[in-house]
Amino acid sequence: MTTPLLASHGTFGLNLDIFETNIINLAIVIAGLTWFLRGFLGGILARRRERILAELKDAEDRLASATASLTEAQASLADARARAEKIRIDGKARAEAIRLESEKRTVEEMARLKQDSQSDLASEVSRVSKQLQREAAEMAIEKALASLPSRLDATTQAQLIDQSIQTLGKA
């Protein structure tokens, strides 16, 4: 049964006859699908939801672990930097101490060498001076011996011998 009010002249119209339009069959099919699919699709969706929640929890756990590892690594890095800075400062201090010690030893060695050279110079001057005195004495003796025979006559020679004997007697 079609209602003439709502029916149009030909192409479009609203049919309100329940038996003719199969509304009851459609309602039963939709209700059945809803009731059956609710359990099926609900289970699938619940399992999917649980899987997503588990993955989110796992991701949060990994994030927390990574954050803890990052914090620990940053602390280790800061500690390593502090130790490296301390080592660098200690190294500079040791290098400075070694340099100062080396300079001190160099100055001491130079002073010792200077003193050794002065003492060597003094001993060389003394040796040369003694050698010059000896040579001068030898030359004076040679000259005296060379000129002595011409200047010495028998009387002078006798006086010289007497004088040498007296000098030996007093000693």
* Predicted confidence (pLDDT) per residue in 83-104, tens digit: 999 999 999 999 999 999 999 9
For residue 13, the SS3 value is strand
Q: Kindly list the domain boundaries of the chain, sorted by start residue.
A: 18-144
**Residue appearing with tokens 């509304």:** 23
**With the CA atoms of 24, 27, 28 and 33 taken in that order, what torsion angle do they form, in degrees rounded to the nearest 10?**
160
In this prediction, residue 171 carries a pLDDT of 59
* Predicted confidence (pLDDT) per residue in 27-81, tens digit: 888 888 888 877 787 888 889 999 999 999 999 999 999 999 999 999 999 999 9
**Cα Dmax for the chain:** 199
Query: For residues 17 and 158, what is the distance between their CA atoms, to the nearest angstrom?
Result: 192
